[in-house]
A = this chain, B = another copy of it.
């Protein structure tokens, strides 16, 4: 359970906060740095936080980087289709092998989230700067710890149901919007050994990632998604087990090479 110096990588596409004047005015240091600052502020010595963006070679997510990452935070919007499938597969493999993943706002349509969900992840939406209320429906969940009920967000993009995801294993937050729509806004999933938390508030047109409550939700999500030491059940591939392999007289099957690719090469 110890999350001491959990190695966290905040990945943002860094497109609108570089090219769109309005977004740049809100996030002059880039959204990735603002989100990372929030985690540093709240997790302190319990975390080691760095960032990466779309523009770096391999989007800053080389195998070596991912191997050292325990929780990856992902924000994307305009450039989902510019993320290389090779990188997506690499991230998926790391999640299946235990890396936590926190997916924010419009990253519901990112390649990595859709790949891990197996669904379209589409939503109903409206960009009308309307009030969002985020209600806790699992008050004993660690991600809800210290979060007001409800969170009142004055101006947000509306995301509404039907949100095409598999039923969350744990549903933590449900939002309503001034226009009347509802949204499953805080959702937990497990894939392989990895834990995934999706949190929808975080429109690029509002300074939400400076907000202390939103920062707290994300920090809680990162803490929840941080991996335990993998147990003995971990295998990266199908493998053959001789009869009684697990008994003293048995022979444990050889550890197979890591191969969890579920997508075609380009």
A138 touches B190 (CB 8 A): yes
Q: Is A26 an interface residue (CB 8 A)?
A: no
A169 touches B171 (CB 8 A): no
Given contacts A117-B118, A126-B240, A167-B171, 5 further A-B contacts (CB under 8 A): A125-B238, A133-B180, A146-B232, A166-B190, A179-B244
Count of residues in A whose CB is under 8 Å from the partner chain: 96
| Majority SS at the chain A contact face | loop
Most buried by B among A96, A133, A180: A180
A178: nearest chain-B partner, CB-CB: B180
Copies of this chain, count: 4
B1 touches A231 (CB 8 A): no
The interface residues of chain B lying within 8 Å CB-to-CB of A117 are 118
Can you sample 7 A-B contacts with CB below 8 Å? A125-B238, A136-B162, A164-B192, A167-B171, A176-B180, A180-B244, A264-B266
The interface residues of chain B lying within 8 Å CB-to-CB of A238 are 109, 122-125
B136 touches A149 (CB 8 A): no
The interface residues of chain B lying within 8 Å CB-to-CB of A230 are 139-140
A244: nearest chain-B partner, CB-CB: B179
Q: Is A174 an interface residue (CB 8 A)?
A: yes
Asked if A119 meets B133 with Cβ closer than 8 Å, knowing A229-B145, A242-B126, A243-B128, the reply is no
Interface bits A138-167 vs B (CB < 8 Å: 1, else 0): 111110111111101000001011111011
How far does the alpha carbon of A161 sit from the alpha carbon of B262 in the complex, in Å? 19
